[in-house]
Amino acid sequence: MDMPKCRICETTYEAFMSFGNMPIANGFLKSEDFGNEYVYELKVGFCPRCAMVQILEQPERERMFHENYAYFSSISTRMAAHFQNFANMIMRQYLGEANPFVVEIGSNDGIMLRHFADAGIRHLGVDPSANVAQAAREKGIETLCGFFDEKLAEDIKAEYGRADVILAANVMCHIPYLHSVAAGVATLLNTKGVLVFEDPYLGDIIEKTSYDQIYDEHAFYFSLASIEYLFSEHGMEVVDIMPQNVHGGSMRYVIARKGVRPVSPAVAAQNSKEKALGLKSRATFDLFRKNVEHSRTELVNILESLRQQGKRVVGYGATSKSTTVTNYCGITQALVEFISDTTPTKQGKYSPGVHIPVRDYRKFYENHPDVALLFAWNHAEEIMAKEEKFRQSGGKWLTYVPRVEVID
């Protein structure tokens, strides 16, 4: 097979690990569709030149983002608060001009843009998944249903003029044609404008062995090093960087045209941290692979032993991340009876690949299991607080990030 080429700098590189065949991570399905499930091999690699970590094969974008997209951002109250703070920070620090214009890429159901809409600020959301885009429109948020790229950025500029701020959360890492996105940002932003975006951070994934962040929608796993490389190709630079305590550890980057804004000392500090973490070294990823394999063995051992003891185990949170874990570890209904979830469009369906039924979260309350495997570990605080009764009645949480353990 030909060696793959890095999507950012075109250097040939190789995979450092394969998770085997995978279905679409958000592809919750009905039993009649079991026979038509799409699969591809999930492999991840590291580019030795620009340091970008990326999956080698990504299913076509229309298989993932469409009118039945399963993820509605507003399911989490903690994330809603996070995006309110994000919006407030932008309004305070970056919206100086008269009649400013804010664009958000991947605006989903409007979890962040609603704060700009409520404040009467000119705004435009861009999202290709028609159902979530419609949910945003119903809240009065102007939303364009489409894939952001250079062409779309030109169309937006022609119709609305340049943007003062472009925002993006948990979407840049989804887009394989990132050069087109970066070129679009450079076209659409006004001279002093900023792009502020955040995504799960590679450093956290490595440190916490949170390998379930690796799935089809996540084409890339960013570090400061790889982001600096990408934007330098488009005359832009990272002027600030701020770690975020969401989604298991994210990083927020502020990008501006080169030389127009002062660069915060936080950027150099993060570069030093990345050196210490070895994010530019292949050996780091080989060690990560070993840690992932170890995590799989431990999780399967615990689940098998619970089954032998006759304990009832259910999954909590039908996350896209769980698709990597269940399929890579071979966790089927024999080990996890069902997955409880609050999202109506997932309930009554089956999880991708391993086909564990997804049930209304009320089933969890009605009939508490012995153990809940916390697939939504990134929402652990919110969930454990909400489910205090489960723990009080003797229920145990089982997690696998940052290590496999039963929480007493």
Binding partner of residue 379 among ligand TYD, ligand SAH, none, CB cut-off 5 to 8 Å per kind: ligand TYD
Containing 263, the helix (H) or strand (E) segment is none
Using DSSP's 3-state secondary structure scheme, residue 404 falls into: coil
Q: Which residue has the tokens 């698709």?
A: 323
Mark 60-99 with x for binding to ligand SAH (rule: CB under 6 A) and - for no binding: -----x---x-x-x--------------------------
Decide: is 129 part of the binding site for ligand SAH (CB under 6 A).
yes
Decide: is 324 part of the binding site for ligand SAH (CB under 6 A).
no
User: Which range touches ligand SAH (CB under 6 A), out of 120-128, 183-191, 202-210, 305-313?
Assistant: 120-128
Decide: is 169 part of the binding site for ligand SAH (CB under 6 A).
yes
Shortest Cβ 78–ligand TYD spacing (Å): 7
Shortest Cβ 250–ligand SAH spacing (Å): 9
Shortest Cβ 107–ligand SAH spacing (Å): 6
What tokens appear for 246 in the block?
């969401």
Closest CA to 144 of 184, 182, 179, 173: 184
Q: Which of 26, 170, 226, 319 binds ligand SAH (CB under 6 A)?
A: 170
Q: Name every residue whose Cβ is closer than 8 Å to that of residue 259 and which is 6 or more positions away in sequence.
A: 237
Q: Which of 4, 45, 100, 128 binds ligand SAH (CB under 6 A)?
A: 128
Decide: is 147 part of the binding site for ligand SAH (CB under 6 A).
yes
Decide: is 171 part of the binding site for ligand SAH (CB under 6 A).
yes
Shortest Cβ 368–ligand SAH spacing (Å): 29
Q: Which of 16, 19, 101, 148 binds ligand SAH (CB under 6 A)?
A: 148
Q: Would you call the peptide bond into 402 cis, given omega within 30 degrees of 0 as the criterion?
A: yes
Q: Name every residue whose Cβ is closer than 8 Å to that of residue 53 and which is 6 or more positions away in sequence.
A: 44, 45, 46, 47, 202, 220, 221, 222, 223, 226, 285
Residue closer to ligand SAH by CB (options 171, 225) is 171
Strands (E), 29-146: 40-46, 53-55, 101-105, 122-126, 143-144
Closest CA to 54 of 286, 230, 220: 220
C-beta separation of 196 from 172 below 8 A: no
83 to 11, 128, 169, 321: CA distances (angstroms): 36, 20, 9, 21
User: Where do contacts with ligand TYD occur on this chain (CB under 6 A)?
Assistant: 71, 75-76, 317-321, 341-343, 346, 361, 376, 378-379, 382-383, 386
Per the document, the length of the chain is 408
Residue closer to ligand SAH by CB (options 147, 220) is 147
